[in-house]
Amino acid sequence: MTVTAAPTAIETPAAVVTPAKAGTGSKVMAWLILLAGIAYFLTPLIATGERAFRAIGGTFSFEAFRRVVSDPEFLRTFGESAINAVLTIFVSLLVIVPTAYWVTLRVPKLRSVIEFITLLPFVIPAVVLVFGLIRMYSRPPLAILSTYGSTRVMLICAYAALSFPYMYRSVDNGLRAINVRTLTEAAQSLGAKWPTIIRRVIFPNLRVALLSGALLTFAIVIGELTIALYMGQHTFGPYMSNLVRNFVAEPAALTVLSFAMTWAAMGIISFLARRQPSSKPKKAV
């Protein structure tokens, strides 16, 4: 974030002598690299779009989408995954927000410990995590994975743990941007109790940070395959995975939908991030 300090130095005379413009040679190279990147990025999307919109009947149509949407399995698995995603976000927020707040306010010394634990999902791959969960919770003392419903609870908790790196980072960044201590003291001096402080003071100030974390979590959970697969859950990821091997047009339509959802989530996040700085001065006043 200290990066913003650099551009102010351009006003020196030296900058006038040598304007930091790229030469023609490097400009041509930059264009070539960009075009290569765009070609690589877009080709799979075009190919998928072509399949989704034209595979049935050979002419442009929404037939593949219509078939997908009218498949009851699609509605059921997608609905289940969407509910899982919302519950995951809820559990993750419930664990992370009070913890991050408490660490910032009361035990800053433990920050590195918490940070380390939240980063563990990067060290323990999903397939290893589900392996451990199954071995831990399928035998008598802790035989939680015995029914579909209890396994689903386990799945949601595992997803919440996987969302920790994103959620904690985004909440922690949000907390750093506001003056937690002052806000808390101000609320306390007005007689507010802890639940009120978290709900009416901290949460509203973290709205953007929480929304970014939540959207990212949603994008990851909605089509997750590995954990759901080995826990035998009939969610959207395994459903798509089966379809890919057996059909042509329908999975293309699903891929277009997934891509659109990820795009929407990321678009909103970057939109919020860009709006954030302009709203900050207002808070400072």
Partner 1 sequence: MTSISEVGGNRPPPRTWNWVGIVPFLLFSTAFLLGPAAILLVRSFQANEGGWTLLNYRQLTDPQVLEAYGLSVRISLVTAIVGGVFGFLMAWAVIYGGLPRPFRSLLTTFSGVASNFAGVPLAAAFIFTLGRIGLITALFGFFGVELYQSGFSLYNFWGLSVVYMFFQFPLMVLTITPALEGLKKEWKEASENLGASSWQYWRHVALPVLLPSILGTIILLFGNAFGAHATAYALTGGTLRLATILIGAQISGDVLQNQGLGYAVAMGMVVIMGISIGIYTILQRRAERWLG
Shortest approach of partner 1 to residue 147 CB, angstroms? 18
Q: Which stretch binds partner 1 (CB under 8 A): 24-32, 64-72, 79-87, 200-208?
A: 24-32
Tokens encoding 236: 């959207």
Is residue 39 within the footprint of partner 1 (CB under 8 A)? no
Is residue 172 within the footprint of partner 1 (CB under 8 A)? no
Is residue 252 within the footprint of partner 1 (CB under 8 A)? yes
Kindly give the residue spans of alpha helices, DSSP state H, lying in the chain: 13-17, 24-54, 63-69, 72-105, 111-118, 120-123, 126-137, 148-177, 180-189, 194-196, 203-205, 207-222, 226-230, 236-246, 249-284
Is residue 73 within the footprint of partner 1 (CB under 8 A)? no
Is residue 171 within the footprint of partner 1 (CB under 8 A)? no
Is residue 246 within the footprint of partner 1 (CB under 8 A)? no
Is residue 174 within the footprint of partner 1 (CB under 8 A)? no
Residue 21 or 282 having the CB closest to partner 1: 21
Residue 76 or 285 having the CB closest to partner 1: 76
Tokens encoding 176: 């750093």
Is residue 143 within the footprint of partner 1 (CB under 8 A)? no
CA-CA distance, 139 to 137, in Å (whole number)?
A: 6
Is residue 46 within the footprint of partner 1 (CB under 8 A)? yes
Is residue 276 within the footprint of partner 1 (CB under 8 A)? no
CA-CA distance, 48 to 252, in Å (whole number)?
A: 5
Out of 127, 147, 148, 275, the residue judged to bind partner 1 by CB under 8 A: 127
Task: Supply the DSSP symbol for 107.
Answer: -
Of 158, 157, 206, 159, nearest in space to 179 by CA: 206
Is residue 20 within the footprint of partner 1 (CB under 8 A)? yes
Shortest approach of partner 1 to residue 29 CB, angstroms? 7
Of 208, 216, 211, 207, nearest in space to 263 by CA: 216
Shortest approach of partner 1 to residue 15 CB, angstroms? 6
Tokens encoding 263: 């795009």
Out of 87, 89, 161, 171, the residue judged to bind partner 1 by CB under 8 A: 161
Tokens encoding 94: 């419930």
Is residue 160 within the footprint of partner 1 (CB under 8 A)? yes
Residue 62 contacts by C-beta under 8 Å, 6 or more apart in sequence?
53
Is residue 29 within the footprint of partner 1 (CB under 8 A)? yes
231, 154 Cβ separation under 8 angstroms: yes
DSSP string for residues in 173-241: HHHHHTTHHHHHHHHHHTT--HHHIIIIIIHHHTHHHHHHHHHHHHHHHHT--HHHHHTT---HHHHHH
Is residue 133 within the footprint of partner 1 (CB under 8 A)? yes
Residue 24 or 285 having the CB closest to partner 1: 24
Site for partner 1, residues 197 to 236, rule: CB under 8 A: 216, 219-220, 223-226, 229-230
Is residue 34 within the footprint of partner 1 (CB under 8 A)? yes
